[in-house]
Amino acid sequence: MDIVSLAIAWLVTSVSFFIISKLPIGVDIDTFGKAMVSAAVFGLLNALVRPLFVVFGFPFVLVTFGLFMIVINAAIFGLAAWLVEGFRLRWGIWSALLGAVALGFINSILYQLLSTLPSR
């Protein structure tokens, strides 16, 4: 992955985090700057911690036909909220679950919109 793709992914995830903070699902992020920090922390946790969660949770992922991955995403989402000041989950794990699902949907929509833009 080149630096431009990484910067675009970070910006898209930052915008997604900021949009999520405006939805009534219990996720509070103070400013867009905090959303950018949250996106960076979330990305690092996805790269560093997620593989461990997937390895140790593999039996659950297998039994639930992959639905346990939502719980893993919620755990990473909650861990990011715990690490970043100004990023709060009002209803604990429920906000993390809703936020993780919303992040997936909003990221998908934003990437779809980006793919329809004309290239140079």
* CA quadruple 28, 53, 112, 6: dihedral sign: positive
| Domain regions of the chain by residue span | 3-115
pLDDT tens-digit readout, 64-75: 999 999 999 999
Whether the CB-CB separation of 90 and 28 falls below 8 Å is answered with yes
User: How many residues comprise the chain?
Assistant: 120
Indicate yes or no: pTM above 0.85: yes
Q: Return the pLDDT at 72.
A: 97
Q: Return the pLDDT at 118.
A: 86
Residue 117 — pLDDT band, cuts 50, 70, 90? Answer: confident
